[in-house]
Amino acid sequence: MTNQLPEPLNIDEYARSAATCLPQMVYDYYEGGAEDEVSVLENRRAWQRMALKPRVLVDVRQRDLTTTVLGQQIAFPILTAPCGFNALAHPDGELAVARAATAAGTIQVVSTAATYSLEEVAAAAPNGIRWFQLYCYRDRGITRSLVERAAAAGYRALCLTVDAPFVGRRERDIRNRFGLPPGLRWKNLEAHGFDKMDAGGDGSALKKYIENIWDAGLTWEAVEWLRDLSPLPLVLKGILTAEDARLAVAHGARGIVVSNHGGRQLDGAVSTASVLREIVEAVAGQAEVYVDGGIRRGTDVMKALALGARAVLIGRPYLWGLAVDGEVGVARVLELLRAELDLSMGLSGMPTLASISHNTVTAHG
Ligand SMILES: Cc1cc2nc3c(=O)[nH]c(=O)nc-3n(C[C@H](O)[C@H](O)[C@H](O)COP(=O)(O)O)c2cc1C
């Protein structure tokens, strides 16, 4: 342990521990959201407002948490979400996450904004299953090169983030003049000269970076372009309505991540738990549906599965683990959530993921 606190027992304790070992600027960047952070809070509360309906007198001596996502078998239905700049939490950054996710038997979704290149991350855990999260640059040549590199490095899917034409107004980052300290860069963009985002300028360096080079003109045309460009299955991340979910399927998406970017983009956007079921219904099995935002307990995962998600993604929780104890911390966070899900299934009389159904969840009365 890099600090003197007792080993955290849950994700909130990891968050508190991380707060003691991270510089304020980094903690705020990880923890914060847009404007009043209403969607950050609501993501969390929406899971808590839901109640589980356990069954009894079921033999739960053995539980099976395995599933498949896009045809790949994983040990439990929790993926690590793409989060930028993992090396702000720990020098091993995305490499540590790659090793921990692979050892745990799950998928790492690697961000375009990684502090190690996508090839370095792949080499850190060659047997791992990983997806590449894509941000589209105005220069389609850059985007094309990222896509080709991801396929060449063995990534299994492209996860296009569609909720970030601009960066949300993250006031903590503006106040802290958020940017990257010396030595850290957008490693994937090195060859294109878009790797620098130094801290200490006027306001958030991230905001300026994004406004200068990302494509705010992205439409469904780009989804078709990507679908035709790459053999990798396409997952759209950042869908919050049934209408867009249907369009995603119509434009060839194989997966949808119901997400409001952890409350970091449009503040006041609906919580993900509150729209999950209608999106699952709209998609009607034509694509896999995943969800992220505010998942902090195994019971939250159960609720998501009950509402029809195939798997969930966690963002901040693994960043806290990484900050507290590097690869070991990420491994512990994944194991905590896996074990909580396992126990919740046991206590609910649902020994397999398939036995978790829409009858499992209701609103708190
Ligand atoms: C520090 C941080 C950086 C993030 N960077 C990215 C990113 O680069 N690409 C992306 O698609 N989403 C990014 N996200 C959003 C996450 O992928 C995910 O949607 C969100 O964190 C889920 O909510 P949770 O943190 O409550 O689990 C980021 C989130 C955080 C907290």
pLDDT digits (tens, 9 = 90+) for 215-270: 899 999 999 999 999 999 999 999 999 999 999 999 999 999 999 999 999 999 99
Residue 120 banded pLDDT, cuts 50, 70, 90: very high
pLDDT of amino acid 4: 58
Sign of CA dihedral 44, 89, 17, 10: positive
pLDDT tens digits, one per residue of 173-185: 999 999 999 999 9
pLDDT tens digits, one per residue of 70-85: 999 999 999 999 999 9
What is the distance between the alpha carbons of residues 294 and 25, in angstroms, rounded to a whole number?
21
Whose alpha carbon is nearest atom 21 of ligand 1? Answer: 315
Mutate to test the pocket of ligand 1, among 264, 265, 301 (most ligand atoms within 8 A of CB): 264
Q: Cβ(227)–Cβ(252) under 8 Å? A: yes
pLDDT of amino acid 64: 98
pLDDT of amino acid 5: 65
pLDDT of amino acid 202: 84
Domain ranges for the chain: 11-52+65-129+298-351
What is the distance between the alpha carbons of residues 12 and 286, in angstroms, rounded to a whole number?
36
Catalytic residue among 90, 192, 261, 358: 261
- Catalytic residue status for 192: no
pLDDT of amino acid 1: 47
What mean pLDDT value characterizes the chain? 96
Report how far ligand 1's centroid is from the alpha carbon of 155 (Å): 19
262 lines ligand 1 (CB under 6 A): yes
The fold of 11-52+65-129+298-351 is TIM Barrel (3.20.20)
What is the distance between the alpha carbons of residues 207 and 70, in angstroms, rounded to a whole number?
33
Residue 332 banded pLDDT, cuts 50, 70, 90: very high
Residue 102 banded pLDDT, cuts 50, 70, 90: very high
Sign of CA dihedral 15, 91, 194, 110: negative
Whose alpha carbon is nearest atom 13 of ligand 1? Answer: 83
Q: Cβ(152)–Cβ(195) under 8 Å? A: no
Whose alpha carbon is nearest atom 6 of ligand 1? Answer: 83
- Looking from the CA of residue 314, the nearest atom of ligand 1 is 27
Reported as type and span, the H/E element at residue 133 is strand 129-134
pLDDT of amino acid 6: 81
pLDDT of amino acid 365: 73
The two tokens of residue 94 are: 């995305």
pTM: 0.97
- Which residues, 6+ apart, have CB-to-CB distance to 48 below 8 Å? none
Whose alpha carbon is nearest atom 15 of ligand 1? Answer: 261
